[in-house]
Chain A
């Protein structure tokens, strides 16, 4: 499992690089972020939440049952939207109200 950074969207702000708990992300000479050690990602999704232009998505490795789906987040006020793009093209949005507790 790891992340994918869309170079076309990346604005080179470096926030994902700063926040990664494994210091795995760097800025290239083109000032675009890239993951230097993809196999060392913990899957915490901190970088997704930090990215102001939603350029980062998260995926499961094939070794853990991933089949090509992607997950990214977008924030609207208190609502954190988790957007799943399924391999069949279907998009599922799960909205989490950050003011509400987990039910379980």
Chain B
């Protein structure tokens, strides 16, 4: 393999929302060299590829950052870090105004104030939000972007980061990147569980299917402390298109109704997990399918909906138009998605301090990769990117660069070379991915079991995931893209093992659907108002319980 060695001050793994904004912040506040490694192309990579319909984390007039933090903690049923939520919330207004100056269209009223949607949301045209962010990063003279470079591992010695290894997807170049500080901005993990439509449209999922939990997996393997992987995120979405429902619920006031036309949402509560649970429970009781009641909305409202969905989830508009089944005449069917691990919506991810430093020295995390701060969404990811960048600059002032050893380089090069071979393998990454998704679906609380699991079923899941991990050693790739698929599968398997360990550790049901433990079906504040954290050490996952006040 052709190799290339690069030295940089700051390496940012993942050029999505948090990564791009961190690069801009670091570049504008220093003359340090910043490198973004992105496995696709930063113009449209990650969660924001299609756009976003609203900014869901904003401090509207009369509200304070404390209000936002309080809301998130309540929605997470108490399991969230106030310090992280506050430091994030304090920056939400400034990062939003910055994006507006860069060209993001935000709706203002006649007095020039942002028009709000509910208490915390503002209305935008977010179709081009990712190209805007990418352009901000690319025009900094001290930011270099390597597109189509997939980072496969970090290099850590003595608890300190030295850099990372990556593979060029286009030409198979092996990259050795030495960096004094590294930001993990890889997003969360999709594709662990069998999706709603596992056939041809298997990638029509809520979360970006190219976010494989790479950052989590790299951290786990090197012993980083992780938090709250048992608080899975399940989105309530429009059936099949997996398009957002908030636009219908908040935009035109559509209520959740069952097949009998009964409004059921008040029955189950209105937190994020309760909304999903209500729909799952109505279906289980034989009162499904469930819908958002859009029948009777005006033609004007209908036209606005068609446009709003084009700016973020065009499948939904196509579905309405191609069959002539418009929302004014037809209620929109809804369903829960498969579970995801995603630190921007729930609290899973790296355990970080208020500087967004992980427990590995010199390694920082932001956005969906960072845990403890749910409901950060786009603006919260920007805020965390900014915080992490400022922290990394302070870190660089205090620490001398380290290097990557020749032994580590040889080991990583040899692993890639072993996978990259024309010899036959009995399995493909696709086959093992499907097997993994089936295992998680059946035994670790997927759609099939209405998100429920037991300690026994988790035991089966764990055993099968470990088998699949062993089988993945035999995979072979003919080119660099297939090689990426092998690494992605192995990342997901690592994340699955951690999810299973966390689900098993929390012996209560705090969040319906997100962690529905049939052995412990009640919430137990006396024992379980704690963070479930973990560290992978000597081949096993050690569980660490931390009080909610810690951090």
Contact = CB atoms under 8 A, between A and B. Distances in A.
B314 A45 contact: yes
B240 interface: yes
Contacts of B203: 1, 22, 39-43
Given A18-B41, A65-B240, A98-B128, A42 B210 contact: yes
Given A22-B210, A42-B210, A43-B50, A104 B41 contact: no
A79 B127 CA distance: 12
Interface in B126-174: 126-128, 147-148, 169
Interface in A57-104: 58-69, 71, 80, 82, 84, 86-87, 92, 94, 96, 98-104
A50 B128 CA distance: 12
Contacts of B117: 104
Contacts of B210: 21-22, 42
Contacts of A98: 105, 125, 127-128
Q: Contact residue range for chain A?
A: 35 or more
Nearest to A2: B200
Q: Contact residue range for chain B?
A: 35 or more
Nearest to B243: A43
Contacts of B247: 102, 104
Given A44-B44, A84-B318, A104-B304, A63 B209 contact: no
B169 A23 contact: yes
A89 to B, nearest CB: 12
A5 B322 CA distance: 19
Given A64-B197, A100-B105, A103-B308, A58 B318 contact: yes
Contact of A23 (B39, B197, B208, B322): B39
Nearest to B480: A23
Nearest to A45: B314
Contact of A21 (B40, B200, B205): B40
B321 A46 contact: no
Contacts, number: 180
A36 B125 CA distance: 31
Contacts of A38: 200
Chain B CB within 10 Å — which of A2, A23, A99, A104 has the most? A104
22 contacts: A1-B203, A21-B45, A23-B484, A39-B203, A43-B204, A45-B50, A45-B314, A46-B43, A61-B199, A61-B200, A61-B204, A63-B240, A65-B240, A69-B322, A84-B318, A86-B321, A101-B115, A101-B125, A103-B123, A103-B308, A104-B304, A104-B305
Interface of B: 39-41, 43-46, 49-50, 53-54, 105-107, 115, 117, 123-128, 147-148, 169, 197, 199-205, 208-210, 240-241, 247, 250-252, 304-308, 310-311, 314-315, 317-319, 321-324, 481, 484
Interface of A: 1-2, 18-23, 36, 38-46, 50, 58-69, 71, 80, 82, 84, 86-87, 92, 94, 96, 98-104
